Amino acid sequence: MPRIYPLEKIRDIGIIAHISAGKTTTSTCILYHTGKVHKIGTLEKGTTPLDWMVQSQERAMTIMAAATTTYWKPEGKDEYQINIIDTPGHIDFTAEVQRSLRVLDGAVVVFDGGAGVQSQSETVWRQADQFNVPRVCFVNKMDKVGADFEMNLDSISKRLTQNAIPVQIPIGAEENLSGVIDLLKMKALKFEGTEGEILKEEDVPEDLKAKAQEWRKKLIEKIVAEDNVLLEKYLEGKEISIEELKAGLRKATVSCHLFPVFWGSLFKRIGVQPLIDAIVYYLPSPADLPPIKGTDPKTGKEVERKPEDTEPLSALAFKIMTDPFVGTLTFFRIYSGHLVRGSYVLNSITGEKERIGRILRMHADERTDLEEGFAGDILATVGLKNTSTGNTLCDENSPIVLEKITFPEPVIGVKIEPKTKADQEKMGIALKKLAEEDPTFKIKSDLETGETVISGMGELHLEIIIDRMKREFKVEANVGRPQVAYKETIKGEAEAEGKYIKQSGGRGQYGHVWLRVKPKERGQGFEFIDEIKGGIIPREFIPAIEKGVKEAMDKGVVAGYPLVDMEAALYDGSFHEVDSSEVAFKIAGSLALQEAAKRASAILLEPIMKLEVIVPEEFFGDAIGDLSARRGKIEETKDRLNLKIINSKVPLSEMFGYATSLRSLTEGRGTFTMEFDHYEEVPASIAKEIVEGKRK
């Protein structure tokens, strides 16, 4: 069966933004106007099919990204297929944004028009930069008090890019917002009917003519500057048609040189249809992108796949989800080739073959079975046994490994303890399933103490995991207080010997090694270097030594936190013909590492968070004072209307309970967002308290 929509008529896009900017509302309005859903709902949170998780509905926020597909026919064009992923804004779920951006070709960045660029909009913008994802901007909530055209543009150009360019200007603002002016057509657009479904084109209002002309000129100048043919025409004073301008803007947007800006208010149902047109007009189709690069797992050489159905299959599994009804769902994006139901594909990371029993097109938590999938499709399948997030699925005759997805490390943990013996077993299974879904969720069980610590991106992240464990897996557990995921590292270089020798009658034990440790840069991880020459230690014992070293690193030497960012070189030692064993060398490796790390001035590291606090002016002093008491370093303060915005860096350990404290400090009017920034050395006096167990 051939494909229905040619590649040029497909869009794979994500909706990204700061928390609560209106991403899910944007997605829902798009689904409404394209006929995929039949009501927008009250716009109250928790009523859209996209936020289907109970945890989402209760907390009124998106937690998991939702994939859906819809169709749109712009005026005078054929119908297009738009695959949309609505992402969460809360930073605890940043992995959902990260993996979505990895497989999407374009994004709509939604802004809260009353607030300008907010901190997490900046974060997702940088994430999109990293993946080179073309974007259009949608400034929503232009009905809100303080919503202002210039303020928003100014904030975009200061915080994100100088290359954002309005393609519309709003008509009025705040409660007087009544539509937008299309600067290419030079027409006023009005949205009538209960859901804004009746789109009317009118003349540009007299009082906005000059402003519209001025911005049209800026828009045209930006577009022609990106295209030599258009530039020549422009300089010669020749007429450039709207179609030519659109084509020019499309090219510049696809190459991330320009970012078109649209305006509206979903609350007033203003601006949706032109935004859907913009997705089609300006964001890339899979055919606009360069071939995807990967490596041949056999030769390690770089290989490419063109986005065509006739190429060998290459697809990236970007998300795993446990569905109580169908089992494990694996979401994937097909980059090249096509996939038939019932066929086998190679997982080029595990080297195993997987059967594609079903091919599903997802609409949030609903699904439709398909017979085939094609290049450019975002689909799911069920029952894959051995495929995890970031694995490549491909044609076994033309294997390829696509670039993996990288995720941030957890910074916060809690101890959990099953309530009963029955819970204990179920808890193990539940945690394993949840960790398969979520690469930013980690489990650590200490065999000696029997303790389990789960760690993640923030308090909310762990709260959701524990809630899902209870509801979906029926596991009851006692949960400890959140604790910081400290790490340890070394500041200097040192050498140390590790000896494990027991030779008193019968077969003894003999392991003896010398290690040299050196610090590595932050984030560089661990490296084991084998410098043994001439069989001073036989080859077969070296992996055991490395294992011993790694086990010791996991336990740490300062306060029981894992050692990171260092190298350990094995450069000397000795062995005994009869008494040497893997076990003895493992213990020797572990002893040597512990001693070497202690000699190399081991220290504690703590996560430092980037914090943005917004408070009414009158609470500014108190908020600053409170941050200083929390060891915060203020980096910048700004004014917006009668609000103060404070940007700072604060250790995570000082931030527990901050929400409550800010609320009482500001009579409930302060807000904040926080995200992990980097690890830093814990000041000596505080490190001492942690080591002595005095600090909770």
Ligand X SMILES: Nc1nc2c(ncn2[C@@H]2O[C@H](COP(=O)(O)OP(=O)(O)OP(=O)(O)O)[C@@H](O)[C@H]2O)c(=O)[nH]1
Q: Does 33 bind ligand X (CB under 6 A)?
A: no
The correct pick among 23, 59, 305, 516 for binding Mg ion (CB under 5 A) is 23
Q: How far apart are CA 64 and CA 468, in angstroms?
A: 13
Residue 23 vs 361, nearer CB to Mg ion:
23
Task: CB nearer to ligand X: give 9 or 269.
Answer: 269
Interface residue with ligand X among 19, 109, 136, 605 (CB under 6 A) is 19
> Least distance in Å: CB of 473 to ligand X?
25
Does 31 bind ligand X (CB under 6 A)? Our answer is no
Q: Per CB under 6 A, does 107 bind ligand X?
A: no
* CB closer to ligand X out of 88 and 589: 88
45 sits near Mg ion (criterion: CB under 5 A): no
Binding-site residue total for Mg ion (CB under 5 A)? 3
Element (H, E) at 616: strand 602-616
What's the CA gap between 153 and 139, in Å, rounded?
9
- Identity at 27, one-letter amino acid code: S
Q: Which is nearer to Mg ion, 23 or 487 (CB)?
A: 23
- Decide if residue 62 touches Mg ion (CB under 5 A): yes
Query: Minimum distance between the CB of residue 562 and ligand X, rounded to whole angstroms?
Result: 32
What is the C-alpha separation between 417 and 415, in angstroms, rounded?
A: 7
Calpha distance 340→580 (Å, rounded): 55
Say how far residue 597 (Cα) sits from the centre of its chain. Answer: 34
Residues in CB range of 172: below 8 A, 6 or more apart: 178
How many whole angstroms separate alpha carbon 683 and alpha carbon 696?
16
Q: H or E stretch including 188?
A: strand 187-192
Q: How far is the CB of 57 from ligand X (least distance, A)?
A: 11
> Could you tell which of ligand X, Mg ion, none binds residue 338, using a CB distance below 5 to 8 A set by kind?
none
What Cα–Cα distance (Å) separates residue 308 from each residue in 3, 168, 281, 305, 334? 11, 35, 21, 8, 10
Beta bridge partners of 674: 611
Q: Segment contacting ligand X (CB under 6 A): 127-135, 265-273, 311-319, 378-386?
A: 265-273
- Determine which residue in the list 11, 141, 222, 610 makes contact with ligand X, applying CB under 6 A: 141
- Count CB-CB contacts under 10 A for residue 263: 29
Number of residues that bind ligand X (CB under 6 A): 22
Q: Which is nearer to Mg ion, 25 or 381 (CB)?
A: 25
Question: Which range in 71-79, 140-148, 365-373, 495-503 contacts ligand X by CB under 6 A?
Answer: 140-148
Pairing of strands 302-305, 292-295: antiparallel
Nearer to Mg ion, 49 or 418 (CB): 49
Q: Check residue 305 for interaction with Mg ion (CB under 5 A).
A: no
**Residue 189 bridge partners (DSSP):** 180, 201
With binding defined as CB under 5 A, does residue 24 bind Mg ion?
Answer: yes
**Residue 24 interacts with ligand X (CB under 6 A): yes or no:** yes
**DSSP states along 460-471:** HHHHHHHHHHHH
- Cβ–Cβ contacts within 10 Å for residue 505, how many? 6
Question: Between 60 and 79, how does the x/- string for binding to ligand X read (CB under 6 A)?
Answer: -xx-----------------
State yes or no: residue 144 binds ligand X (CB under 6 A): yes
- Interacting partner of 108 out of ligand X, Mg ion, none (Cβ under 5 to 8 A depending on kind): none
Which residue type sits at 97?
V
Position 20 contacts ligand X (CB under 6 A): yes
62 vs 580, beta carbon nearer Mg ion: 62
Kindly provide the residue ranges of all beta strands, DSSP E only, lying in 420-565, ordered along the sequence.
442-445, 452-456, 477-479, 483-484, 487-490, 494-502, 509-519, 526-530
Query: Under the criterion CB under 6 A, does residue 269 sit at the interface with ligand X?
Result: no
CA 646 to each of CA 195, 409, 618: distance values in angstroms, whole numbers, following the listed order? 38, 26, 13
- The torsion angle over the Cα atoms of residues 622, 628, 632 and 636, rounded to 10 degrees, is 60
- Residue 21 CB, nearest approach to ligand X (Å): 5
What is the number of helices (H) and of strands (E) in the chain? 16, 38
> Is 90 one of the binding residues for Mg ion (CB under 5 A)?
no
The end-to-end CA distance of the chain, in Å, is 63
Identify which of residues 59 and 250 has a Cβ nearer to ligand X in the complex: 59
Of 9, 36, 45, 333, the one binding ligand X (CB under 6 A) is: 45
Q: Which of residues 619-658 bind ligand X (CB under 6 A)?
A: none
Q: Is 364 in the site for ligand X (CB under 6 A)?
A: no
Instruction: Judge contact between 427 and 468, C-beta under 8 A.
Output: no
52 binds ligand X (CB under 6 A): no
Residue tagged 């030079």 (tokens): 186
Q: Which of 11, 13, 16, 25 binds ligand X (CB under 6 A)?
A: 25
User: To which residue do tokens 């945890």 refer?
Assistant: 55
Under the rule (CB under 5 A), what is the footprint of Mg ion?
A: 23-24, 62
Under the rule (CB under 6 A), what is the footprint of ligand X?
A: 17, 19-25, 43, 45, 61-62, 88-90, 140-141, 143-144, 265-267
